[in-house]
Amino acid sequence: MKCDVAIVGAGPSGLILAHLLRQAGLEPVVLERRSKDYVLSRIRAGVLEKTTTNLLERLNLADRMHAEGLVHEGFHLADGEKLIRIDLAELTGSSVMVYGQSEVQRDLIDAIPARGVEVVWEADDVALHDVDSDAPRITYSKNGTSHTLEARFIAGCDGFHGPCRKAIPETVGVTHERVYPFGWLGILADVPPCDDELIYANHANGFALASMRSATRSRYYIQAPVDTNLDEWPDERIWDELAVRLGPEAGGRITRGASIEKSIAPLRSFVFEPMRHGSLFLAGDSAHIVPPTGAKGLNLAASDVTYLSDALIAWFKQGDQNALDGYSSRALARIWKSERFSWYLTSLMHQFPEHSSFEREMQRAELDYIANSRAARESIAENYIGLPL
């Protein structure tokens, strides 16, 4: 089989890229290790920047998002006692959209047949060959039969653990990494959220986040050790802890209910550069990870593939080599700023085992400064809604 661009991974970066290339008349093929149902059932990000919602509009895939998504004009930081509102609308004139990653995936997947996007689900043993040549290949197997996919370019949209980044020789790339000494224990429940807006709470017991997927489905997180045994956290214990960490105002408004999903996710900051090697381009989590505190992971995946699709289309349509050569540095400029913001909010809102009372007082002082300084709130708001492309 031959195609213009072979895309590894049918997460948000792979599927958005496939739709953008197809919209421009190119022929991408997506290889995905998992089944369609598995991809649709993954519970992940939920806050979309304007740059991401604009992109879905550009693809004419935004109708359900506008009908069912929740426009948020602000969010809160909590210091264990009071709520500090970051008024996105007043500070920036903009807003964010709360619409689950699984819903974005569903809209992208539902449009696959009508748009003529080819996706091979449950493609096993994906291996990249000759990526530093002009004729790269991917071999894979499906139902026990081996296949070869020839392409002019390969897009590595295969997440943090996929094979694409690993196909780049270690001597070529540089890795920057910070692994945080804790994770997020998440709970999903069909109960109304405790607030109309997200609340990021710094409490002496640890961080907590109150968020939602809809007016009737809540998503909460608490900071917990990465090796936490979920059996030790029955729902009631999580609700009790949330009620304490979110503070008296928001904690008192929690509606409890049975969890429909419970999981623990590690927190990591990670950047691999450059995001190109020969005919292979990395996008999304394959090249970078942010801790979810700034809600940037999915949004960065979307901005990467915006840059990458522009560059690939310019190459196929006008023979423009410059855009492809500039892809990595263009994408990284935005990635590093999102890494900074995600690291800053993570550092501000979590309890670190190595912290002394000094760092704890620094966090308190910073939160007090944010509460009383419009300039500080404006800076947070500008980053939260997403920096321009």
Q: Could you give the residue numbers annotated as active site?
A: 72, 200, 292, 296, 384
Q: Please report, as a single letter, which amino acid is at residue 100.
A: G
Nearer to ligand FAD, 160 or 352 (CB): 160
- Residue among 6, 11, 108, 345 that touches ligand FAD (CB under 6 A): 11
Among 3, 6, 7, 45, binds ligand FAD (CB under 6 A): 45
∠ Cα 18 19 20 (to 5°): 95
Rounded CA-CA distance 183/206 in Å is: 11
At closest approach, how far in Å is the CB of 207 from ligand FAD?
13
**296 belongs to the binding site for ligand FAD (CB under 6 A):** yes
- Other C-beta atoms closer than 10 Å to the C-beta of 121 total 17
Q: Residue 166 carries which side chain, given as an amino acid letter?
A: K
**Segments of 190-327 assigned E as strands:** 199-201, 208-212, 218-224, 259-273, 276-277, 280-282, 288-289
User: In the complex, what is the shortest distance from the CB of residue 211 to ligand FAD, in angstroms, rounded to a whole number?
Assistant: 8
Examine residue 168 and tell whether it contacts ligand FAD (CB under 6 A).
no
Residue type, 380: I
Q: Does 206 bind ligand FAD (CB under 6 A)?
A: no
Q: Which is nearer to ligand FAD, 137 or 355 (CB)?
A: 137
Candidates 65-73, 236-244, 249-257, 290-298: pick the segment binding ligand FAD (CB under 6 A): 290-298
CB of 298 to ligand FAD, least distance (A): 5
Q: Which of residues 144-163 bind ligand FAD (CB under 6 A)?
A: 157-159, 162-163
Minimum Å gap between C-beta 373 and ligand FAD is 26
Site string for ligand FAD, 60-99 (x = CB under 6 A): ----------------------------------------
Phi/psi for 276 (5° steps) reads -140, 140
Report the amino acid identity of residue 321: Q
268 part of the interface to ligand FAD, by CB under 6 A: no
Is 19 in contact with 61 (CB distance < 8 Å)?
A: yes
**Number of residues near ligand FAD (by CB under 6 A):** 32
Q: Which two three-digit tokens encode residue 161? A: 């653990």
- Decide if 294 contacts 211 (C-beta within 8 A): no
- Burial environment of residue 268 by CB neighbours within 10 A (0 to 12, 13 to 18, 19 or more): middle
Q: CA-based Rg of the chain, rounded to a whole angstrom? A: 21
Q: What are the residues facing 179 on neighbouring strands?
A: 268
Note the residues at the interface with ligand FAD (CB under 6 A): 8-14, 31-34, 39, 44-46, 101, 123, 126, 157-159, 162-163, 265, 284-285, 292, 295-298, 301
